[in-house]
Amino acid sequence: MLFLLALLSTLHLHHHQALGYNVDDKHPKIFSSEAAAGKSYFGYSVALYAGGEDSVLLVGAPRANSSFFPGVFEPGAVYRCSPANGSCKEWLIDVSGGKPAALSSFERQVKDGSWLGASMDLRVPQEDESTEARVAICAPRWKKETLYAPKRSYMNGMCFSSGVSRRGTSRRYFPLSKTASQTVSLMDGNNYYDHGMAEAGFSVHWPTNSRLQFALGAPGAAIWSGSSLLLTEKLWDSATDNFEATIPKILGDARFERSDYFGYAITSGQFYEPGEVLYAAGAPRSSRTRGKVFVYQFPSHKNTQLLVKDILDGEQYGEYFGSALTACDVNSDGRDDLIIGAPLWSRLSDEGRVYAYVSQGSQKSIHTYAVSEDFCLHYMSLQLHYYVT
């Protein structure tokens, strides 16, 4: 929903016709950090927890230099900001240290340029749960480097999870770092990257109905066909890196092609039947850059194909259909509706478009709303308000 809110705010600020009556642009609360000034990309990702006195705004700055790791170049940082006074302080989510620590006798991690805070998602416990809110935060450019000749670096990506209160120790996940999965040999006799440039955590989504599982997008996996994987914490009360990853088989699946970037964005919802949770992930370069969004379930066994329920297609070359996703029940029918961003859709100059796939019983009907020079921006803002609320 933050994508829609940001778009609505932009319309209201830059075009006087856009009357977003639910957005107060005269009394904004501005969050900033001197430590994250310059090229830090402060605000690249955000997660807001509204928990009364424990409320906090988490802000990602994926190109920031960290005060905790002074010897590392731009590892990225996450800041905890107080909604009460607007102050922001860096949060030590990664407790493994800043040096290139050994992962094994022949591998080490490299945190320079890892883009910690590039993506994050927050899960608030449901009313019948006694656990606290948790957040998943990712560094998709985290690298593993081999210590034997010839030395190689693999951009696998890494993520962390932690309680919002910071009372527990954070847990870390690097599910695509196994040596055997970095490259793959194909029939043409050449080696290609499988998980070696996966960038796991480029997108992350923690479903509201799942306490122990969250999903990652890895658009660089499988020769940049992309992938989506499901992480399950095996020991909830443990601070170890004990998790299980469901990694579907993408190579050899005819529904995916090289350079699709599947997993660029990810969400979930009960799109068709109440109680049936499905995932949706974008592949913005699929279909000759028209883009696609896949609606699917994860397989119950490792290294098997995704259970694809539906495929939604973009309409225009290069519009990047599926690069932003969210889900919410916009028509109060008890089923979630899928909102898809296509920021480079163009009539005149990359105005962008939002596609809303709204449920009608077990069917889906499409409503599209476009921003262009001759479009009624007032109408657009009201429609976006409807979808956000």
- pTM greater than 0.95: no
Q: Provide φ and ψ at 356, rounded to 5°.
A: -115, 115
Give the least confident one: 90-94, 204-208, 227-231, 233-237: 233-237
Mean pLDDT along residues 139-146: 94
Fold of 81-370: Methylamine Dehydrogenase; Chain H (2.130.10)
- pLDDT for 9 beyond 60: no
**Cβ contacts of residue 309 below 8 Å, gap of 6+?**
272, 278, 295, 296, 297
For 245, list phi and psi in degrees, rounded to 5: -115, 130
**pLDDT above 50: residue 5:** no
Give the start-to-end residue ranges of the domains of the chain: 81-370
Averaging pLDDT over each range in 11-20, 37-46, 123-132, 162-171, which range is the top one? 37-46
Confidence class for position 168, pLDDT limits 50, 70, 90: low
138 contacts 204 by C-beta, under 8 angstroms: yes
pLDDT the model gives residue 61? 96
Residue reference for tokens 């976006």: 384
Mean pLDDT, rounded, for 112-116: 96
The reported pLDDT for the residue numbered 290 is 95
More confident: 4 or 291: 291
**pLDDT, tens digit (0-9, with 9 covering 90-100), for 264-323:** 999 999 998 888 999 999 999 999 999 999 999 999 887 899 999 999 999 999 999 999
Q: Which of 132-136, 224-228, 341-345, 378-382 comes out lowest in average pLDDT?
A: 378-382
Q: At what angle do helices 2-14 and 377-388 cross, to 10 degrees?
A: 150
Residue-level pLDDT at 12: 36
Q: What is the pLDDT of residue 385?
A: 30
Residue 377: enclosing H or E segment and its boundaries? helix 377-388
Query: What pLDDT sits at residue 21?
Result: 61
- Percent over 90 (pLDDT), the chain: 51
Per-residue pLDDT band for 33 (boundaries 50, 70, 90) equals: confident
Residue type, 232: T
pLDDT at 190 over 90: no
Give residue-wise pLDDT tens across range 335-376. 899 999 999 998 888 889 999 998 776 666 656 555 444 443
Which residues in 240-271 are b (16+ Cβ under 10 Å) and which e?
eeebebbbbebeebebbbeebbbbbbbbbbbb
pLDDT band at 226 (very low <50, low <70, confident <90, very high): very high
Task: Give residue 158's pLDDT.
Answer: 95
- Which tens digit of pLDDT belongs to each residue from 56-75? 999 999 999 999 998 899 99
Q: What is the pLDDT of residue 279?
A: 97
Q: Tell me what pLDDT residue 179 has.
A: 78
> What value does the mean pLDDT of the chain take?
83
According to the model, what pLDDT value does residue 25 have? 76
Mean pLDDT, residues 79-91 = 91
The helix/strand/coil state of 53 is helix
Residue 100: what pLDDT? 61
Q: In sequence order, what DSSP letters do the residues of 114-146 get, joined into one string?
A: --BTSEEEEEPPPTT--SPPEEEEEETT-EEEE
The pLDDT, as a whole number, for residue 107 is 86
- What pLDDT is recorded for position 13? 36
Nearest to 8 by CA among 322, 388, 366: 388
Report the range of poorest mean pLDDT among 103-107, 173-177, 253-257: 103-107
Pair 251, 225: CB distance under 8 Å: yes
